[in-house]
């Protein structure tokens, strides 16, 4: 075999879903049933992952067709944090995903979040509608395929299951995915299969495995092509201190081969790390007796496989970073450059003024940043780790009030940081559901904008349109006092009024039935004292006057606060603008 030979590698499968919907149990069940079916040793436990070989899957599922895949590799850590952290060349590391949804609980916030992530990363997935055994009245048949066990259920239980599935199918539809019960799906390219399962009893698990293998086989074979002798590429899953080995990295190798002695480049906190593989470690088959027996040393691993790598200089390595073997024909400089640019890509685009982002992993920082970008919220600073006082100080320096915020995803807030945030008027948003955090942030900004708008509306001159009534001239001048009918808007005291763009004078007072009032609105008939004009010369009965709205105010009203204006104010404003723009088309634009 030479290094250009190609083979199909094991597809990498992630399990996602809302907390408590059964992700961990499902992974355990798949491992458990695989072990039960396999001859001793046939299922391989890798570092951070489990491989179920194809013959074991075939024994569990009894499929009609033969599969070419070597098996399925399940990433042991379920959840979307792991999913977003694990990437390969800018995309998701997982080839396929299982979205676990509790049939009795339906879609929950993290389910929606997971769907959004899968959508964004274009990862094909199946839905495991879990806990069917908990539907009231369900009769369990351990490990049975769905059709078999479903046929044995009462009509009422069958109806309840169908209804629960329709709910899930509806929720998927609301999130932009066409879906159906897996055995009713004709084309998995356009429709998501929903497989009813129980992670507790094993029911439906054969169906789930079958759908997964089918999906991978039919739609992914191209991206599953690997060079079993090419230089290895992988993703750091975890960075761990190990006694006697120093800092090690757990790597999921998704392409090629990694051998002891290989020079590798690993993404680090600051710069790519260049080092040499000292040891490759797999979990020992033996029960753990002491540290020595925990691992087996191997000379080489071939994709896809999870392996612990011991090498010098790994202290700065990061979870989610690329791990690339420098092959015989590769230039070290080229590989380093590639790793560097991949790390830069993980980096977040920052702005002069924006919010501060903290999250638990490289991948989640990126996911939060992406979501903020979609919401058009600029980021000043984004990093991994707990929220410290330093982060609050950073947020405090933002110019815009709405950027004085820290978005903290799945991380702790140190006590002094929390105290200082209160003092510095920096708003903290904490949570473990990205889109919720963003909604909360947006609500906060909206609240501030409304408040600001109210203040502004209090301080701008509001438009009014009114007519000088016939036979209602009470005084000619100094001031002129006339009867006025307000046609639209609100007439206030102390505003300037104009006729056809010509300033007439200032409203000194407004009276209604002999009483002084501060303002008059549409439909009111009042007497108005205007200092400046003389009736008969500057002003006559029947004239239509407008309040003079300063150009800046008019612009703010039209462009920023339009939504807050009531109908009559808008009507007065529109009339005023129309008049102004007949003279100057760009007035207040």
CA distance 387 to 27: 33
Structural tokens at position 411: 């991380």
Tell me the torsion sign for CA atoms 582, 583, 587, 589.
positive
Interior angle at CA 86, CA 80 and CA 88, nearest 5: 135
Burial class of residue 290 in the structure, from the number of CB atoms within 10 Å of its CB (0-12 exposed, 13-18 middle, 19+ buried): exposed
Task: List Cα–Cα distances, 184 to 44, 149, 195, 207, in angstroms.
Answer: 33, 17, 10, 13
The closest alpha carbon to 547, from 483, 428, 466, 453, belongs to 466
Going from the C-alpha of 114 to that of each of 46, 121, 148, 529, the distances in angstroms are 25, 11, 30, 66
Q: Is 580 annotated as a binding residue?
A: no
Instruction: Tell me: is residue 21 an annotated ligand-binding position.
Output: yes
Hunting for tokens 């408040």 — which residue is that?
451
* Annotated binding residue 240: no
In the complex with ligand GDP, the residue whose CB is nearer, 24 or 383, is 24
- Least Å from the CB of residue 28 to ligand GDP: 8
Distance in angstroms (rounded) separating the CA atoms of residues 256 and 5: 10
Closest separation in Å from C-beta 340 to ligand GDP: 36
By beta carbon distance, the residue nearest ligand GDP is 22
Q: Measure Cα distances from 419 to 402, 413, 428, 510 in Å.
A: 20, 10, 11, 52
Q: Which is nearer to ligand GDP, 133 or 233 (CB)?
A: 133
Q: Is 18 one of the annotated binding-site residues?
A: yes
Give the nearer residue to ligand GDP in terms of CB position, either 16 or 484.
Answer: 16
CB of 16 to ligand GDP, least distance (A): 9
| Three-state helix/strand/coil letters over 168-209 | HHHHHHHCCCCEEEHHHCCCCCCCEEEEECCCCCCCCHHHHH
Give min distance, CB of 138 to ligand GDP, in A.
9
Dist CA 393 CA 404 (whole Å): 10
81 is in an annotated binding site: no
* 455 has binding-site annotation: no
Rounded Cα gap, residues 357 and 387, in angstroms: 9
Q: Judged by CB, which is closer to ligand GDP: 86, or 407?
A: 86
Please indicate if the annotation marks 24 as binding a ligand: yes
Nearest of 332, 313, 326, 335 to residue 268 by alpha carbon: 313
Longest Cα–Cα distance in the chain: 110
Nearer to ligand GDP, 80 or 570 (CB): 80
Shortest separation between residue 297's beta carbon and ligand GDP, angstroms: 32
DSSP code of 231? B
To the question of whether residue 80 is assigned a binding role by annotation, the answer is yes
In whole angstroms, how close is the CB of 182 to ligand GDP at the nearest point?
Answer: 17
Give the residue with the Cβ less far from ligand GDP, 198 or 364.
198
| 191 labeled part of a ligand binding site | no
CB of 99 to ligand GDP, least distance (A): 11
> Which C-beta is closer to ligand GDP: that of 23 or that of 427?
23
Distance CA 456, CA 587 (A): 20
204 in Cβ contact with 149 (< 8 Å): yes
Rg, Å, the chain Cα set: 34
Cβ closest to ligand GDP, residue 33 vs residue 130: 130
Q: What minimum distance in Å lies between the beta carbon of 34 and ligand GDP?
A: 17
Nearer Cβ to ligand GDP (100/421): 100
17 annotated as ligand-binding: yes
Residue 81 CB, nearest approach to ligand GDP (Å): 12
79 known member of a binding site: yes
Which residues make up the interface to ligand GDP (CB under 6 A)?
A: 17, 19-25, 78, 130-131, 133-134, 198-200
Report the alpha-carbon distance of residue 25 to residue 31 in Å, rounded. Answer: 10
Is residue 140 a known part of a binding site? Answer: no
Sequence ranges of the binding site for GTP: 17-24, 76-80, 130-133
Sequence ranges of the binding site: 17-24, 76-80, 130-133
């Amino acid at each position: 075999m030479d290094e250009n030979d190609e083979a199909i590698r094991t597809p990498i499968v992630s399990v996602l879903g809302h907390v408590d919907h059964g992700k961990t149990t499902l992974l355990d069940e798949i491992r458990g049933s695989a072990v039960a079916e396999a001859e001793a040793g046939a299922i391989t436990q890798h570092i951070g992952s489990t491989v179920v070989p194809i013959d074991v899957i075939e024994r569990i599922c009894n499929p009609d067709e033969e599969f070419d895949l070597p098996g399925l590799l399940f990433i042991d850590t379920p959840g979307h944090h792991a999913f977003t952290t694990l990437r390969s060349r800018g995309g998701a590391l997982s080839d396929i995903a299982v979205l676990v949804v509790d049939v009795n609980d339906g879609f929950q916030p993290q389910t929606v979040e997971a769907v959004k992530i899968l959508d964004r990363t274009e990862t094909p997935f199946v839905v495991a509608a879990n806990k069917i055994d908990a539907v009231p009245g369900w009769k369990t048949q351990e490990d049975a395929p769905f059709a078999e066990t479903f046929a044995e259920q009462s009509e009422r239980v069958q109806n309840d299951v169908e209804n629960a599935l329709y709910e899930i199918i509806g929720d998927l539809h609301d999130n932009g995915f066409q879906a159906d019960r897996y055995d009713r799906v004709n084309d998995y390219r356009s429709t998501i299969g929903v497989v009813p399962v129980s992670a507790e009893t094993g029911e439906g698990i054969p169906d789930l495995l079958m759908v997964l293998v089918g999906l991978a086989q039919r739609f992914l074979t191209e991206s599953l092509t690997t060079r079993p002798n090419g230089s290895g590429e992988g993703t750091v899953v975890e960075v761990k201190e190990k006694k006697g080995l120093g800092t090690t990295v757990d790597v999921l190798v998704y392409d090629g081969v990694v051998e002891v002695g290989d020079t590798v480049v690993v993404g680090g906190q600051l710069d790519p790390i260049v080092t040499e593989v000292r040891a490759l470690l797999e979990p020992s088959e033996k029960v753990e007796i002491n540290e020595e027996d925990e691992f087996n040393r191997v000379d080489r691993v071939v994709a896809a496989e999870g392996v612990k790598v011991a090498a010098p200089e790994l202290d700065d390595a990061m979870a989610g970073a690329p791990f690339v073997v420098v092959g015989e024909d590769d230039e070290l400089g080229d590989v380093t450059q590639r790793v560097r640019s991949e790390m830069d890509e993980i980096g977040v685009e920052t702005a002069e003024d924006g919010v501060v982002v903290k999250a638990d992993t490289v991948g989640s920082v990126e996911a939060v940043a992406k979501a903020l970008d979609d919401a058009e919220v600029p980021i000043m600073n984004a990093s991994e780790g707990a929220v410290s006082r330093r982060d609050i100080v950073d947020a405090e320096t933002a110019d815009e009030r709405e950027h004085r915020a820290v978005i903290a995803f799945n991380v702790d807030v140190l006590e002094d940081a929390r105290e200082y945030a209160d003092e510095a008027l920096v708003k903290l948003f904490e949570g473990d559901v990205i889109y919720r955090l963003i909604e909360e942030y947006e609500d906060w900004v909206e609240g501030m904008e409304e408040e600001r708008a109210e203040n502004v509306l209090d301080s701008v001159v509001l438009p009014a349109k009114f007519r000088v009534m016939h036979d209602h001239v009470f005084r000619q001048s100094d001031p002129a006092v006339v009867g006025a009918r307000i046609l639209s808007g609100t007439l206030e005291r102390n505003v300037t009024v104009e006729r056809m763009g010509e300033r007439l004078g200032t409203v000194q007072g407004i009276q209604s039935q002999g009483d002084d009032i501060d303002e008059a609105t549409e439909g009111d008939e009042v007497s108005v004292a205007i200092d400046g004009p003389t009736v008969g010369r500057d002003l006559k009965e029947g004239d239509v006057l407008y309040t003079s709205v300063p150009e800046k105010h008019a612009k703010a009203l039209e462009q920023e606060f339009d939504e807050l204006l009531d109908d009559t104010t808008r009507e007065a404003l529109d009339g005023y603008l129309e008049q102004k723009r007949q003279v100057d088309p760009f007035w207040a634009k």
